[in-house]
Structure 1
Amino acid sequence: MKKYSVIIGAIIGISAMSIHAKTYVLTDTQNNIEVGSWKTEGQNYTIEQQVLHGGKQEGSKVITITSPNGLTIALSPTRGMGLLHAEGNGVHLGWKSPVTELVNPAYINLDSRNGLGWLDGFNEMVVRCGYEWTGHPTTIDGQIYSLHGKAQNTPASYVVVEIDEKPPFAIHVKGLIKESTFKKTDLRTMTQLTYIPGETSFKLHDVLTNHADYGHDYQIIYHSNFSQPILEEGAKFLAPVSEVSPFNDYAKKGLKDWTTYLGSTKDFDEMVFNLKPLSDQNGNTIAALVNKDNNKGVAIEFNTKQLPVLTLWKNTDTLKQGYVTGIEPGTSYAYPVNIERAQKRVKQIEAGQSVSFDLTYSLLSDRSQVQKVENTIKQIQGSTTVKQVETPIAKE
């Protein structure tokens, strides 16, 4: 009897911990709630939602969390709860895209340019590529599978801000993304960003649930994009991996120097590399981008049981064209869905089933923080030699 009392007590304790003193519902389509512009403040933070106007950003919303001695984080409920940028200690996380407006999905045709319409709004720091499908566009049995799926161009149906009642007063921004199509799919993802004021890291916890009565495929790539001041000539990509291969023939010539970066280079086409990440005994791993002097960087922690593959996207084109690199944990590489399915990387989610994805993003603003990440990566890498495969694992 005592054993069950302990279990029940633990469950009650967990439930009590999840109670939040302050809850703000900003969007709720089921109850016809749309707050619009909104703001709240605490001792060490400000949270604000702004509605944008003009051009193709008309009606787009931005939620900004500001912590004076920590981070400023901006995300958009209009664009699939995508993270626009983060900043702290003089270090900017994100990039400058030729797409300067926060484009409302109402102005985007995903099927345009033979399935590349997604690029008309691409300018975020973290893009959720999925969940019904992801990867390069293709047409199967007359259906266009556009670039990187629909989630990022799906406005959230439910948005809530919750603030813990006890120290450290964590802030949680949740948004529900629905991918529901008659006779096709009913996938719903509850996204959550958690940030503790004053800290220089934040967490993503996303739960994908299949609300249909039938099983369905799913894919996800967390397209995480960074540029200056971290990305520069001599910057380095760090991660424990067992294997690296070029995505296509063009990337072959960059295989020798795949971990280092060029400065802004005109006529540089994108190079993509497929990586097999190593992890510790619990599946935890980390990837990072650090500058040439090893005193600035960004790190992404994730779990290979949830996100088993890693893509590195190097797009060191001109600054005006888009000088950027992407560190992309995922369930799939960026090949079209038919290739990923044939190579058995497309996952299946059964009716009523849920799967979770957890990532932690950390800003690194001094040598000691960079060194700590490097040590962790070396520890996970151990004595494993990185195998370089010169032939792409697939051809589009």
Structure 2
Amino acid sequence: MNLHGRHYTRREIEARVGRIEQVGGIRKMMLTEGNEAGSTVLQVRTGAGLTFDVMPEKGLDISSASFGAGSLSWQSMNGDAHPAYYDDQGLGWLRTASGGLFMTCGLISAGSPSQVDGRAYGLHGRAHHTPARQVVAEAWWEGDEYELRIAGIIEETSMFGGHLRMRREIRCRLGENRVTIRDVVENAGFQPCPHMMLYHVNFGYPLLSEQSRILFPEGGKVVPREADLPVEGYDRWDAPDADYLERVYYHELPSSSGDGRAEVNIHQPAFPIAAGHEQPVDVRLSWKTDTLPKLVQWKMPGAGMHALGIEPSNCDVEGMDVERQRGSLVMLAPGASVTYEMELTVR
């Protein structure tokens, strides 16, 4: 294990601690106040500076995430609201969406509210507000490496309305600032089912400041969702502006890459590691493009809504009805499955 700048064996680490959680690990907690009451938190510490909270009641999404003394993620004013308060109609999702590092939009629908075949689909689908079951939080030694794993099942079901099942696994290793997320979504029903999937990865202050640089995949076109929106400035971060209106951009990913992956990098030259101490930090989000071929960017440097959303997806964000009209709606066949893989690293 590489820890704090040197290599240790398992026994060398164990000789220095009463229990391994002194260095890092997984801790289960419960929130008790307001609309967060009843929400479980699986707090993960990697022992190398990265800490993040996994929320079983919110589809095993990742809420707060920090590195050293500074936050990496944007948190919404809703907090980690329990899904009992979720309103699935229209824009009701906005009242209980937590923000956080990682929000899942899907499994059947994502994007704007829409109505298809007499059925209403609210903003961004139900996954972020669906409690996981068969949740596993475990850590173990594998040779001289200490592995951390959280896993569970999230299902979107409705009689006569589809049955999608997602098996999620979140992995990291003590001493490394790297998180991998692997989702396998299968159609457990017996009819084809719409499947829209968008990962809303939300970054915020102090990772984002006017000094930050945002590096998108090269070689592709950038198209604003609104035709009258300028393209200039999509890769620049701005000071908070109470009058700023959200901007959404579609990034055309390069048609081929050597490893079949795309990535976005954020460089902050003065990230707060400890009180009075700053250093350069790079955050990289990478994903497999065979199943997530699209990239949506949500730019919102408003006041109080000061967030950058990097959103790998299999769809755009105008909703299911528009996807169907375009002929781009993904339909998952009965018994079929699709695998999604993402990785976040902090350096």
TM-score above 0.5, yes or no: yes
Query: Which residue of structure 1 lines up, in the alignment, with residue 311 of structure 2?
Result: 328
**Which whole-Å CA distance do the structure 2 matches of 1:196 and 1:220 have between them?**
27
Take 2:81 and 2:70, find their aligned partners in 1: how far apart are those partners? 25
What is the TM-score normalised by the length of structure 2?
0.86
For 1:288, the equivalent position in structure 2 comes to 265
**Are residues 1:139 and 2:121 paired?**
no
2:323 is the counterpart of 1:306: no
Is residue 71–residue 87 contact of structure 1 (8 Å, CA) maintained in 2? yes
Letter of the structure 2 residue corresponding to residue 356 of structure 1: T
Contact 1:188 1:209 in 2 (8 A): yes
Q: Structure 1 residue 244 and structure 2 residue 222: aligned? A: yes
Question: Which residues of structure 1 form unaligned runs of 5+?
Answer: 1-39, 365-396
Identity of aligned residues (%): 26
1:119 corresponds to which of 76, 80, 94: 94
Moved more, 241-250 or 307-316: 241-250
- Secondary structure of the residue that 1:102 maps to in structure 2? coil
1:77 aligns with: 56
Q: Give the structure 1 partner of residue 86 of structure 2.
A: 108
The aligned runs of 1:234-383 (5 Å cut-off) are 234-241=211-218, 242-249=220-227, 252-253=229-230, 255-278=231-254, 279-291=256-268, 295-318=280-303, 321-364=304-347
* Counterpart code for 2:267: V
Task: Report SS of the residue matched to 2:307.
Answer: strand
Q: Give the equivalent residue in structure 1 for 2:23.
A: 44
Which of 148, 160, 164 aligns to 1:171? It is 148
Are the structure 2 counterparts of residues 282 and 94 from structure 1 closer, same or farther at C-alpha, using a change threshold of 3 Å? same
AA paired with 1:227?
Answer: G
Which shows bigger deviation, 272-281 or 233-242?
233-242
The one-letter code of the counterpart of 1:283 is G
- What secondary structure, in the 3-state scheme, does the structure 2 residue paired with 1:47 have? strand
Distance in 1 between residues matched to 2:294 and 2:269, nearest whole Å: 26
Write the distance in 1 (CA, Å) between the matches of 2:296 and 2:312: 6
* Runs of 4+ residues deviating >6 angstroms: none
The question of whether the paired residues in 1 share the 8 Å contact of 2:104 and 2:198 is answered with: yes
Bigger shift: residues 199-208 or 54-63: 54-63
| 1:116-143 superposed Cα distances (whole Å, 9 cap, x missing partner) | 1111122221001001110111223432
Could you tell me how far apart the structure 2 residues matched to 1:344 and 1:164 are? Answer: 46
Deviation at residue 289 of structure 1 after TM alignment? 2.1
**Distance of aligned partners of 1:169 and 1:345 in 2 relative to their CA distance in 1, 3 Å threshold:** farther
> After superposition, what is the alpha-carbon deviation per residue over 1:160-209, rounded to whole angstroms, capped at 9, x for unaligned?
12334413221110021011111111111011110101111110011101
Tell me what 1:161 maps to.
137
Q: Deviations over 1:14-42 (max 9, x none)?
A: xxxxxxxxxxxxxxxxxxxxxxxxxx954
Residue 381 of structure 1 is matched in structure 2 by none
3-state SS in 2 of match to 1:291? strand
Aligned partner of residue 142 in structure 2, secondary structure: coil
* Structure 2 unaligned residues grouped into runs of 5+: 1-18, 271-278
Q: CA deviation at 1:47?
A: 1.4
Tell me if structure 1 keeps the 8 A contact 2:181–2:341.
yes
Query: CA–CA distance in 2 between the matches of 1:256 and 1:69?
Result: 37
If each structure's helix is expressed as a fraction of its own residues, which one has the higher value?
A: 1
Aligned AA for 1:337? M
Aligned AA (2:262): T
Residue in structure 2 matched with residue 198 of structure 1 by the alignment: 175
One-letter code aligned to 1:334:
V
2:250–2:296 CA contact under 8 A, matched in 1: yes
Once the two structures are TM-superposed, the CA of residue 49 in structure 1 deviates from its matched residue by 1.2
Q: Distance in 1 between matches of 2:328 and 2:24?
A: 41
Partners of 2:87 and 2:130 in 1: CA distance: 12
1:102 shift after superposition: 1.3
In the superposition, relative to structure 1, how do residues 46 and 282 fare at CA in structure 2: closer, same or farther (>3 Å)?
closer
For the residue of structure 2 that corresponds to 1:103, the secondary structure is coil
CA positional deviation for 1:43: 6.5
Question: What RMSD in Å do the two structures reach over aligned CA positions?
Answer: 1.9
For residues 290 and 341 of structure 1, the distance between their equivalents in structure 2, rounded to whole angstroms, comes to 38
1:196-251 Cα distance to aligned partner (Å, 9 max, x none)? 0111111001110111112212011110001111211243321224111001146x
Aligned partners of 1:240 and 1:69: how far apart in 2? 28
**Cα distance, 1:292 vs structure 2:** 5.9
Partners of 2:291 and 2:95 in 1: CA distance: 29
Pairs within 5 Å for 1:56-75:
56-75=35-54
